[in-house]
Structures are given as structure tokens and as C-alpha cells.
């Protein structure tokens, strides 16, 4: 396993601190809703959640199977009543054309090879199925480069510079994904308490009001359909 992935696995195997978890869940909920708005349909007989985390996002779409490198995260999903598998998005343990929807939130910048990860996600997606990712840590957002040092997690976040709309659009097309939609939202800091969260929420609203500034927001969302 690549050193980057081992670092991520070790980081997420450690339970997160209780401080600020309520704000983190509120912020995650807001951005998950932004991701869902890009999907033309929320109906799915079976969906795959890539990088499912510790269970907060296990039910973004119906009938989800979550995958994650972290045994701690997958165990949390299962204990919450969901379905989870310890697996790597770059080598998915599923047959071709299995899922109606494949999605992920805050996963792409962790991948060693984004092309390989998206290609695998497209492989297990049925033709006509929907795929989308909420790519936290948009490489165009200058605040993200500071946040990695504030949180002390630069080792697991150093791939976010690759999250750029032009690159993601190209990779989607290479993976036979069409009807591509991209949007930008969010730049809030949710790990430093309520005051900072509210302040950065205001900043986010201000940036979002100007079309030219929107690409510099912290989250880049992309979705499409497999042809």
C-alpha cells in the first residue's frame, strides 16, 4: 500500500476528538445537500459510497454500500445499521455494472491516482447510472492551503491541489461519463469552534454572491451519467 494511503489509514483509525463534532456534522450536512442537488435522480436500487467515513454520510442515497480504507470507519457504519466494506477506491472489489449510483464526499483529493479511482468508480457503475463527488479542498481556494496546517493534517490533505474543474471534467470524459455538471460551494472552517464557523459561513455567502469568485470557494462538486 502506498505511503500516502497508509498515512490516511492511520489517521482515520484514531477516533476523532469529541470537540466540535456537532459543528462538523452540521457543515457536512450542508455540503452533502449541495452534492445531492447535482444528481438528476435520487432513486437507486443499489448505490456505492466511496470513502464513507464514520457513518455520518452512509445514507446520502438509498441502499448504500460504503467503502473506506479505515476499519474504524467501516465498523462505525455497520454499527449504525449500514453496509460497509474495507476497500480501496482505486481497486474496487465489485463486478462491472453493479451500482445505479456511485458517489463520494471528500475522497478524491486522498487518492494516489485520481484517474484510476474515477475509472474504477465508472467501471462498477451501470450504463445510464449517475456518478458524482463532492470534492472538498478545491485547489483554487487559497484558504485550503492554510487550513491543512491549522488542523495539523497536511500529510493526508496534500493532494487537494489536484481538485480542479478542468482536470476532473477531463477525467470524467475519459471514463465515459457525460452530462457533466460542476458547481462550487463552501469554505467554512468547522473545527475551531462556533465563532470561526459562523464567520467563515458569512465569508462563504459573500463569495457565492459573485460569479467570478465562486471558483475560489473551498468545495468543487462534479456529477455525470455513464454512457
**Residuewise pLDDT in 10s, the chain (227 residues):** 566 666 666 656 665 554 456 666 666 777 778 888 888 766 788 999 998 887 666 567 878 899 998 888 898 888 888 899 999 999 999 999 999 999 998 888 888 889 999 999 999 999 999 999 987 777 788 777 776 666 666 666 666 678 888 999 999 999 999 999 998 887 666 666 678 777 877 877 888 888 888 888 888 899 999 99
Report the pLDDT value the prediction gives residue 84, as an integer from 0 to 100.
92
Residues 6+ apart with CB under 8 A from 151: 157, 191
Contacts of 130 (CB under 8 A, 6+ apart): 39, 40, 41, 100, 101, 102, 103, 223, 224, 225, 226
Supply the range of the domain harboring residue 198: 3-14+22-226
CA distances from 101 to 36, 45, 106, 213, 221 (A): 11, 9, 17, 31, 15
> How many structural domains compose the chain?
1
CA separation for the pair 126, 22 (Å, rounded): 36
Residue 85: other Cβ atoms inside 10 A: 16
Q: What is the CATH number of the domain that holds 8?
A: 3.40.50.150
Q: How many CA atoms lie within 13 A of 175 on its CB side?
A: 30
Distance CA 32, CA 59 (A): 10
Amino acid at each position: 500500500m502506498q505511503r500516502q494511503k497508509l498515512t490516511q489509514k492511520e489517521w482515520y483509525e484514531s477516533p476523532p476528538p469529541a470537540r466540535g463534532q456537532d459543528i462538523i456534522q452540521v457543515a457536512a450536512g450542508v455540503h452533502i445537500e449541495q452534492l445531492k442537488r447535482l444528481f438528476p435522480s435520487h432513486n437507486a436500487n443499489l448505490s456505492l459510497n466511496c470513502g464513507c467515513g464514520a457513518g455520518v454520510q452512509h445514507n446520502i442515497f438509498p441502499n448504500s454500500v460504503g467503502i473506506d480504507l479505515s476499519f474504524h470507519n467501516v465498523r462505525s457504519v455497520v454499527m449504525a445499521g449500514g453496509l460497509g466494506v474495507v476497500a480501496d477506491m482505486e481497486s474496487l472489489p465489485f463486478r462491472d455494472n453493479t451500482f445505479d449510483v456511485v458517489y463520494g464526499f471528500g475522497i478524491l483529493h486522498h487518492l494516489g491516482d485520481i484517474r484510476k479511482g474515477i475509472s474504477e468508480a465508472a467501471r462498477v457503475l451501470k450504463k445510464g447510472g449517475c456518478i458524482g463527488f463532492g470534492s472538498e479542498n478545491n485547489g483554487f481556494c487559497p484558504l485550503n492551503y492554510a487550513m491543512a496546517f491549522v488542523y495539523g493534517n497536511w500529510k493526508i490533505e496534500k493532494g487537494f491541489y489536484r481538485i480542479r474543474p478542468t482536470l476532473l471534467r477531463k477525467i470524467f470524459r475519459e471514463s465515459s461519463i457525460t452530462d457533466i455538471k460542476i458547481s462550487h460551494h463552501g469554505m467554512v472552517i468547522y473545527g475551531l469552534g462556533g465563532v470561526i464557523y459562523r464567520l467563515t459561513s458569512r465569508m462563504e455567502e459573500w463569495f457565492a454572491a459573485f460569479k467570478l469568485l465562486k471558483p475560489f470557494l473551498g468545495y468543487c462538486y462534479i456529477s455525470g451519467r455513464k454512457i
